[in-house]
Structures are given as C-alpha cells and as structure tokens.
Amino acid sequence: MLPRWFGTVHPRYATPANSILALGALSLCFALSGSFVVLAIASSLTRKLTYIVCIAALPSIRRQADTSVRSEALRLPGGYLIPAVALCICLWMVSYSPVDAWLISGATLLCGLILYLLARRTESPS
C-alpha cells in the first residue's frame, strides 16, 4: 500500500533498504522532537484508536461473513455486550490523552495517508 520505492530490495542483503532508511529517519525525527513519555502516550493512543476501529467493525464483518464462517466463529456470551464495553473503555481512555499525543498520532496518520495516496496514484491500472 506504499509507493514502490519503499519495497526496493537491497541486492546484497535482500532487505527492504529504503523502508529501513525511511523508518530510521522517521524514528530519529520522533526521538529528537519529543520526550519519551509523550511518544509512549502517542503510541498507546494510536493502538487504542486501532482497537476502536476494529471493535466498531465487528458487526459489519459478521454481516459480510458467509454462513460457514459465521457458524464456526467464536460467539461471546452476551453477544455484542463485551465489545460494547471494550469500546466504551477505549473511548474513555483516549479521552484522557494529551494534545501532544493527538498531534503526533494525527501527523503520523496524515503522513501514512499521503504515502497511500501517492501509491494509489502511481500504481498502474490493471
């Protein structure tokens, strides 16, 4: 989902060299721009937001699953009660995140969105 430049494989080491360099540069920028505590909180906030998206997607995923997958799926006691409680807890926790963490998470999300759009724009139609 990223531009092809990130997928360039080093001829000798067979590693995604450009991705490693980009991640290293991004990590250096984060390390130099903020305190460890703010970065840890931003990381936690990002994970909680991911949990919120996953929990909110559960009903849609269940509806779209075919009957064989639905019959083999794990069924929680109480139906959607446990995911609803988990969603409320996650929302409560992110509501206490400081502004710095929101700014870092938002900037990271924006960078990812820009890279995704660049990849979509440059990919050849097939």
Residues 62-103 pLDDT 10s: 888 888 888 888 888 888 899 999 999 999 999 998 898 898
pLDDT by residue (tens digit) across 36-53? 787 788 889 989 999 999
3-state helix, strand, coil in the chain (%, to 5): 75, 0, 25
Contact 16, 8 (CB under 8 A): yes
What does the alpha-carbon distance between residue 100 and residue 31 come to, in Å, rounded to a whole number? 14
Please state the domain extents for the chain: 1-33, 35-113
Q: What is the pLDDT of residue 120?
A: 84
What does the alpha-carbon distance between residue 12 and residue 4 come to, in Å, rounded to a whole number? 19
What does the alpha-carbon distance between residue 7 and residue 2 come to, in Å, rounded to a whole number? 8
Q: What is the pLDDT of residue 124?
A: 61
Q: What is the pLDDT of residue 116?
A: 87
